[in-house]
Amino acid sequence: MVDEISDFEIAVLVDLLENPRAILKAHKKAVLSQLLAKGFIEPTKNEPEIYQLTKKASHFLAERGVGISGG
């Protein structure tokens, strides 16, 4: 069973999927610790202030059709 995740947290995951270096506004930065604790993101090895999606997050988004090009 996948951890409970809010629509807002999913939106932040999508932002990070589209651009890991995206500058997130404060209200989005606030959920990074929650996503980190749930295992959906992790700091990159070379730049720990930059977060990348984990396999868990990639799988979660793929199940929902996020990241699949329609065209």
Query: What's residue 24's pLDDT?
Result: 86
Domain that holds residue 44: 7-63
Tell whether 51 is covered by a domain: yes
Q: What is the average per-residue pLDDT within 39-65? A: 92
Q: Which burial class, exposed, middle or buried, applies to 59 when counting CB atoms under 10 A from its CB (0-12, 13-18, 19+)?
A: exposed
Looking at the whole model, is its pTM more than 0.85?
no
Higher pLDDT, 50 or 4: 50
State the Cα–Cα distance between residues 69 and 71, nearest whole angstrom: 5
Residue 2 lies in a domain: no
Domain-embedded: residue 31: yes
Question: Does 1 fall in a domain?
Answer: no
Partners of 41 in the beta sheet?
53
- Number of separate domains in the chain: 1
53 in any annotated domain: yes
Q: Is residue 71 part of a domain?
A: no
pLDDT of residue 1: 42
User: pLDDT higher for 54 or 69?
Assistant: 54
Residue 25 lies in a domain: yes
